[in-house]
Amino acid sequence: MYVAQRVANITGGTLADVVLGKEHQWFVIVYPDGTTYSAGMGNAQGAPGQNGQTSPDYPYSATSVQNHSAQPMVNMQIVPRANAATLRGQLEFGTPTGPWVPGINDCNTFVNEKIQQSSPATTPPPWTQVPAALSPSYQQQLYRAWFDPDYDGGP
């Protein structure tokens, strides 16, 4: 299970990335067969940048959990010790996530909240082998996240 991120496709997104270190974030859950489930905060038109729009449209606009499978799987960080089943249950497409308020209710706060709600994991996942589609470094990080109590999420 990962948090992926890229520069937010909103007005000031590049500035937020450079100055504040804030990028658009979403979850990528990788299953043993190599399939993935990607979800994060967006507006009714989808994930930021989809369908020719920036998302959210303006502060206080409505948001919900949106499919992020078309987003690039880059800048992925492993989520140590979170329960994948619990997290997946909180990521149903279309679930309202409230008004978009930068720094209070945005994609970053959504990701952090969901990680907290699904941690600590009570059991490791039913697999210990990461799909071969992921690089060896991600495979090693995933294994360490579940079985090394001192692992901090770094490479």
| 152 belongs to a structural domain | no
Residue 155 lies in a domain: no
Helix (H, G, I), strand (E, B) or coil at 72: coil
Residue 134 makes CB contacts below 8 A (sequence gap 6+) with 30, 142
> Which residue type does 45 have?
Q
Beta-strand runs (E) in 68-114: 77-78, 96-99
pLDDT higher than 50, residue 17: yes
Paired with 42 in beta bridges are: 64
Question: Which pLDDT band, with edges at 50, 70 and 90, does 96 fall under?
Answer: very high
* Residue 110 predicted with pLDDT over 80: yes
For 130, the domain range is: 2-147
pLDDT greater at residue 125 or residue 49: 49
**Of residues 97 and 141, more confidently modeled:** 97
Res 145 pLDDT > 90: no
Residue 41's identity, in one-letter code, is: M
- Domain count along the chain: 1
In a domain, 67, yes or no: yes
* pTM of the shown model: 0.70
